[in-house]
Amino acid sequence: MNARAERSIEWHATIDSTMRRAAELARAGAAAGAIVGADQQTAGQGRLGRPWFSASPGGLYFTMILRPRLEAANLPLVTLTLGLAVADSVQMFTGLPCDLRWPNDVLANGRKLAGILTQMHDGAVLAGIGLNVNQPDFPEEIREIATSIVLETGTEHDKHFLLRAIAGGIETHVNILETSGGAAILRLFTAASSYVSGRRVAVELPAGETRGITAGLTPEGFLLLDTEAGERITITAGGVRPLA
Ligand code: BTN
């Protein structure tokens, strides 16, 4: 039996959040590659403390437990690696071209197709993925900014097939990070993302919104921004929004 056939997948019809359950499993010593998924979440968690809309069973919601052979300081690079893996797998298995918005939003035709939440718990990395697969529509408040694979391609896709494809893609890309190092991931991310350089954006920072032009990535995986005030700053966290 190969490693993929042995993968542990705990599937729930409804759960509060796969992040919470995955943290429990990580604490109990779950192996790398273990997955918790659900058809619906009642308290889906997004980045920056935001909720993640998880009411539709058309979405794919899962958390994968990773135990990368890396220092905790490399977590920002793991975050980029996960975005690359999801974009790459979706493109490969659905034919839908994807873009990446730092740090790891997966976009299709400028709208958000997948969100990724990375957390560390008890020495494990929890990779939480919310991928919009078969939703025919979204609630009013996110309709203009969200999209799904079926809306973009006109074809429904099997969520469980995509789950296994993405899990394999994550393992491949984490392996690239472990063996070839951060520079390889930074090169791949830069090639796959229209947001890394020369893009006019607004960034939400604790001190307020800052506007500028993106100017590449640091070796740690942070985003450089040439601000309208003429400074070059490093963005280590925050939400990036495109400006015309
Ligand atoms: C983002 O804000 O872009 C990240 C969203 C991550 C959502 C996924 S859905 C599966 C997993 N469980 C959660 O509660 N959140 C993540």
**CA 1 / ligand 1 centre spacing (Å):** 31
Written as one letter, the residue type at 142 is: I
Nearest in space to 222 (alpha carbons), one of 77, 71, 68? 77
Nearest in space to 115 (alpha carbons), one of 145, 91, 152? 145
Question: Are residues 12 and 36 in contact, defined by beta-carbon separation less than 8 angstroms?
Answer: yes
What span, in angstroms and rounded, lies between the C-alpha atoms of 88 and 202?
A: 26
- CB-CB neighbours of 143 under 10 Å: 11
Beta-strand pair 105-108/99-101: antiparallel
**CA 52 / ligand 1 centre spacing (Å):** 6
What is the pTM (predicted TM-score) of this model?
Answer: 0.95
Written as one letter, the residue type at 215 is: A
Q: Whose Cα sits closest to atom 9 in ligand 1?
A: 130
Q: Which atom of ligand 1 is closest in space to residue 50's alpha carbon? A: 2
- Residues with a CB atom less than 6 Å from ligand 1: 17-19, 41, 44-47, 50, 52, 54, 61-63, 105, 115-117, 128-130
DSSP class per residue in 55-97: --TTEEEEEEEE--SS-GGGHHHHHHHHHHHHHHHHHHHH---
**CA 50 / ligand 1 centre spacing (Å):** 9
- CB-CB neighbours of 164 under 10 Å: 17
What span, in angstroms and rounded, lies between the C-alpha atoms of 33 and 53?
A: 25
Of 11, 20, 61, 132, which is best to mutate to test ligand 1, by the most ligand atoms within 8 angstroms of its C-beta? 61
pLDDT digit string (tens) for the chain, length 244 residues: 344 457 899 999 999 999 999 999 999 999 999 999 999 999 999 998 999 999 999 999 999 999 999 988 889 999 999 999 999 999 999 999 999 999 999 999 999 999 999 999 999 999 999 999 999 999 999 999 999 999 999 999 999 999 999 999 999 999 999 999 999 999 999 999 999 999 999 999 888 999 999 999 999 999 999 999 999 999 999 889 999 8
